[in-house]
Every structure is written in structure tokens, then in C-alpha cells.
Amino acid sequence: MTIILDANILIKDYHLEGTAFKMFFPGCYKAGWKAKVPAVVVEEVVASYARQFLKHRRSIDKAINSLKRLACSEPPKCDTHARMDC
């Protein structure tokens, strides 16, 4: 028997390390089944991974820029004898 894997299954676990795959691959081997991934599915999974990566990269960049605005490169100059307004 040949099992065709769909992009939705692979996108849920890009590294194929989840419980479902840990059970699936040995089960296929024991049963003598083959798992196949069509080229179009590979392309879809790669494109999805790239979109997810860029989405998270933008989120990280946004957070870094926000932290840069919050922080300063030099501590504020304060007169230690004056009120603590800085």
C-alpha cells in the first residue's frame, strides 16, 4: 500500500518529530507500506515554511525596534544633587 501525504499534515509538524510521525513511520515500515510526498506538496510545504519564517522574523524585528526605542545607548545625564527627574 502507498500512502500519499498531504501538505496540511506536513505543515503541522515541519520537522516530522511529533507523536503522530513517531508512530506513523515505524507503523508503515512494519506493515510494508510506502509513504510518498508529491512534488507539488513539497513546494507547498516549503512555501508555507518560508511564510511562517518571515512572519516570525518580522515580529522579532518589530520587537527589537521597539526595545531600541525604549532603551538608549547612553545612560541619561543626571545631576546627583538635583531632583531625580531622569
In a domain, 45, yes or no: yes
Q: For the chain, what percentages of helix, strand and coil (3-state, to nearest 5) are there?
A: 60, 5, 35
In a domain, 79, yes or no: no
In a domain, 83, yes or no: no
* Average pLDDT score over residue span 65-80: 73
Alpha helices in 1-86 (DSSP H): 7-12, 19-31, 39-70
Which one is predicted more confidently, 77 or 13? 13
In a domain, 58, yes or no: yes
Q: 63 lies in which domain range?
A: 2-70
Q: What is the pTM of this model?
A: 0.70
pLDDT digits (tens, 9 = 90+) for 28-62: 999 999 999 999 999 999 999 999 999 999 999 99
Give the C-alpha separation, 37 to 49, whole Å.
16
Cα four-point dihedral sign 21, 1, 9, 50: positive
> With 70 as the cut, is the pLDDT of residue 74 above it?
no
> With 90 as the cut, is the pLDDT of residue 85 above it?
no
Which amino acid is present at 76?
P
Domain count, the chain: 1
pLDDT for 12: 95
In a domain, 78, yes or no: no
In a domain, 33, yes or no: yes
